Amino acid sequence: MKPNVTLLGTPVMVAILAAPASAQVITEVFQTGVGWKATGFFLFFVMLMLLIVYKSARRTRTAKDFYSTGGGISAAQNGLAIAGDYMSAASFLGITGLIYMYGYDGFVYSVGFLVGWPIILFLIAEQLRNLGKYTFADVASYRLQQRPVRMLAACGSLAVVFFYLTAQMIGGGKLIQILFGIPYSFSVIVIGLMMIFYVSYGGMLATTWVQIIKAIMLLFGATFMAVASMYVADFSYENLSLSAIEFHRLKSTIMVPGNFLGDPISAISLGIALILGAAGLPHILMRFFTVADAKAARKSVLYATGFIGYFYILTFTIGFGAIILVSANPNYLDMAGRLMGGENMVALHLAHAVGGEFFLGFISAVGFTTILAVVSALTLSGATAIAHDLYGNLLKKKVTDSELMSIGRRAALAIGLVAIVLGLIFEGQNIALMVGIAFSIAASANFPVLFLAMFWPRLTTRGAVIGGSIGLITVLLLIITGPVVWQDVLGFSRAIFPWEHPAIFSVPLAFVSIWYFSVTDRSDRARLECEAFKAQYVRAQTGIEAEGIRFIK
């Protein structure tokens, strides 16, 4: 049956909300900034976030409060916060843009992001909470030498943080640029300064509540956009697909793989990165230390899986709805026929198409809060790696709470400044692609060491450090010599490494290297580290002696 869709001439969603503005107003919105309704809605949420930071700062007195909320967040609240962390700008803006541009291949990101969660739920969450305190480096170094393992874990965390931050800065810069009609560079600077303020004063408690509010808003907004898109297609996925095929430049090929991931190596490599990388993201792993015990950590992941799964189901509908309502509408295109703001801003155009200026303001606030919350969490995880893992455990043996918090705030400032520079350098990159690269680093450098530290008795310091370093160096070299950096940033005509996603090469190499350098380690220290696994395993599974566990003697 031919879809009942009319795009040109009459606004599509008049029958739904009677809200879209005239073509002239729409064009002005995305060229010179939005009207007072959208701006007011946006500024209201910004002020709300600032109020949260103020309230949280008054309750943040110790290093434990600053880095893990004092363990006082409930499982349901933490589940929403984890979902908020995970449903980043890459999910909302980037995946929508990829589905809009490439169809099926964009949906691979949605599936990949979701599939990684069973690994976290069944293998990581409970053991991590029982063994660690602030970061996953606590777990990786539990029975190994502290100094080299923490150094490696901190380097891996910072590498992930900077690439992930770059993606969020790109999305935030483009959003503010479109929303207020100001230059991209100025927008990125504004995002960076607000991020530094949020982390420095509010700590993990402010970041958590921003994530909770943002997750609720994002789920509501995505649901409305998906329902409105289905309304146009008479609530039929067949009609939705046929309409998308009719209006898309690629026609029926959007329903088959190969438009974005052009070969099996790229597809498999991306899948490995997304599935294994989720369990190596430092800002996600930090969330398990904000609850009281391992049971609450496990429940948190269960709640988060439900919220995240529901959201990623909606991304397909939103992406195809954008194809129908945005791609053929000249009001959302510039003079050259390109989408205003690029593919990362498809979700904003769809929001305006289905709900007018008021809903555009809401979604803009959601998008901005999404970016601000995630960059705050990333900055906090990077600051924790510097303050707790490097300064607190390597440079100084004894450090006070106030000193640890002070170093964390300074680290947040430094990370924020670097993020601003990276956001300017990588302008124009798809944010989902950049996050995929961050996942590759997490899967290659963090996950192998963390996983084997938890479950393999023969892991030694030598194996973890040398093998983990090989995984980290390899993935970074392949990224730098790949198309994203070598061609798009450095300007060379041809990349040395031809694929954008290197995980298919770097992840197996990391595992094999860790195994080899561990089994060939015959030192006395290695023997003691292997013998210590039994005590570690008991604590990981039972929580005996873990923080928050109480026993009757």
Task: List per-residue pLDDT tens for the chain, 553 residues long.
Answer: 444 444 433 333 333 333 333 344 444 444 445 556 667 777 777 777 777 767 766 666 666 666 556 556 788 888 898 888 888 766 788 888 889 999 888 888 888 888 888 888 788 888 888 887 667 788 888 899 988 998 898 899 889 988 888 888 887 787 777 777 778 888 888 888 877 776 776 667 777 787 888 888 889 999 999 999 999 999 999 999 999 999 888 888 899 888 888 888 988 999 999 999 988 888 888 877 777 777 888 888 889 889 998 998 899 899 999 999 998 788 887 777 788 877 878 888 899 899 888 888 888 888 777 777 777 777 777 877 787 777 766 666 566 767 777 777 788 888 888 888 988 888 877 777 888 889 999 999 999 999 999 999 999 999 999 999 999 999 999 999 999 889 888 888 899 999 989 999 999 999 999 999 999 999 999 999 999 999 898 888 887 766 544 333 3
CATH classification for the domain delimited by 63-542, as one of 1.20.1730.10, 2.60.40.10, 3.40.1780.10, 3.40.50.720: 1.20.1730.10
CB atoms within 10 A of CB 473: 15
SS3 333: strand
pTM of the model: 0.82
CA distances from 451 to 85, 281, 444 (A): 22, 13, 11
- Asked if residues 319 and 107 have their Cβ atoms less than 8 Å apart, the reply is yes
Quote the CA–CA distance of 51 and 69 in Å, as a whole number.
Answer: 17
Tokens matching residue 487: 């061609």
Tokens matching residue 438: 């961050």
Quote the CA–CA distance of 438 and 287 in Å, as a whole number.
Answer: 18
Burial 10-43 (b: 16+ CB within 10 A, else e): ebbbeeeeebbbeeeebbebbeebbeeebbebbe
- Asked if residues 446 and 156 have their Cβ atoms less than 8 Å apart, the reply is yes
Would you give the DSSP letter of residue 338?
P
CA 340 to chain CA mean position, Å? 24
Tokens matching residue 503: 């995980």
Quote the CA–CA distance of 152 and 280 in Å, as a whole number.
Answer: 13
Domain boundaries, the chain: 63-542
- Asked if residues 508 and 478 have their Cβ atoms less than 8 Å apart, the reply is no
